Chain A
Amino acid sequence: MDQTILIDENGKRTDGRSIDDLRDVKITIGVLKNADGSASIEFGKNKIMVAVYGPREVHPKHMALPDRCVLRCRYHMSPFSTDTRKNPAPSRREVEISKVMREALEPAIMLEDYPRAAIDVFVEVLQADGGSRCAGIAAASVALADAGVNMKDLVAACAAGKVNDKIVLDINDIEDKEGSADMPVAYLPNLEQITLLQLDGILNESQFNECLEKAIHGCKMVYEIQRKALIEKYFGNDLPEGEEKELEENKEN
């Protein structure tokens, strides 16, 4: 297995990245006019849009919880997002991803601030390129912030994996299919909490530790991009006091 050469002799991957490089990530906030919060993310060739509606009344009403908010999450892939057409009906894979996505976001949201209400997060994958659940989580947490939902931290997400026996950051579509391990992780960078962790593929103990730490490092890089997108949207060039200095410091690190 894993015979295809995905890393050449110069250490470059199929898309020209080195093993520690993230794909280009671009986050745009407020892309949907009707939503209470929204974001679109381009994560390599992934194109994903996220809409947040709420906090709003729960329908049907018996779903409401007396002490906290109901978080509802839907991950969906458009039929044209993949190489062969995807049936638009929700697949078992999408049901599972919707669940792990919700569980990745919940620890960051102050659900107890909105009892008897619901927050709906809709993640629509327009073009898929490997790592769509991580990109979706990153965009969803920015969209939640855009909706003004009280949060303890942003949720950053990034995958790492094993390709040609090397642990690499942020695996793309071909590395996912031909590589030998994929580990998506979601992380709250300020609280240092892991809220999503999955693995398919074989890793020994040291590879497992390296992979997990690399994915967390990737999450921290994604976090900086999320944060910058929010600052740009809400403060433009007039950064609040102290922020400018902090951004510079982060750059140096």
Chain B
Amino acid sequence: MSLSKKSPIVIEQLRKRQMFDLITNGKRLDGRNLEDIRDLEIEIDIIKKADGSAKVRLGNSEVIAGVKVETGAPFEGLENKGALIVTAEVLPIASPYIEPGPPDEETIELARVVDRGIRESQMIDLDKLVLIPGKTVYVIFVDCSIINADGNLFDATSYAVVAALLSSKLPIFEIRDEKVVDTGKKQEPPITTIPVSITSIRIGNNIIVDPTVEEEACMESRITITTNSNNEYTAIQKGSTGYFTLEQIKFAAQTARVKAETLRTKLKELIK
């Protein structure tokens, strides 16, 4: 059951006031403009046991993503497609406010929204990952561990997934005598597009891109918008207990398209 609760993050009243004052003047606590995204650092191949991996730092938010490839049965209704599964876990090492245990609704939402952004953009051509149609397909797992939480985990996790997939080398499986055999060879993943997720929040009447954890604690509503390489929208999720007006949504959508460009160029460099 989903219930309204207090934010566990405590912000001093003075700091909150300072944040609101700054935002009215188009500035933020860390010196950014309202539409600025924090520095993005990407390291790839940090986990040798994985088929692809990446560590992403978005400001102080840090996420590790690892790709593991197996074979298995396809999803129901998608018998002639490979399977792609994205998971996310906010580890207890990530923040004093996180406790170990089964995922809460926020973590489930995070994993599902990141998964949707990658899946709906059709980043991986799953038609090319079938071994026996209707029976055996490649199953690609991308598991994400959030190791430091400082806001905007949606985007940080999404970039980690994209970076890990772009830099991955998939094992080549073959069917011999109706059995799956790992040939020991590797192949490039069939990439079709690079999805980029951009999250904005509303504080008062201002739309702020890439919020920190302090800004998220003061937000009224949040929106995560994913675009593909053709600049089309592929996934959206509005979150939190406030509202957006139509104009605010159109503004956030436009901002997401513009802001995604530079990040996409950065991610593209990983394939070279």
Contacts and interface: CB of A to CB of B under 8 A. Distances in A.
A233 interface: no
A120 B232 CA distance: 39
Nearest to B226: A199
Interface string B243-263: 111100110010001000000
Interface residues of B, number: 41
Contact of B4 (A65, A193, A196, A216): A65
A201 B82 CA distance: 18
B120 A103 contact: no
A139 B236 CA distance: 24
Given A92-B112, A203-B232, A71 B3 contact: yes
Interface in A45-78: 63, 65, 68-74
In the complex, which range does the number of interface residues on chain A fall in? 35 or more
A197 B249 contact: yes
By secondary structure, the A interface counts as mixed
Interface stretch (A165-173, A205-213, A242-250): A205-213
Given A200-B120, A202-B234, A208-B253, A103 B5 contact: no
B93 interface: no
A200 B241 contact: no
A236 to B, nearest CB: 33
A69 B6 CA distance: 11
Contact of B233 (A69, A93, A103, A199): A199
B4 A101 contact: no
Contacts of A205: 231-233, 253, 257
A-B pairs, 7 with minimum CB distance: A193-B243, A199-B236, A98-B2, A197-B238, A72-B3, A106-B241, A99-B2
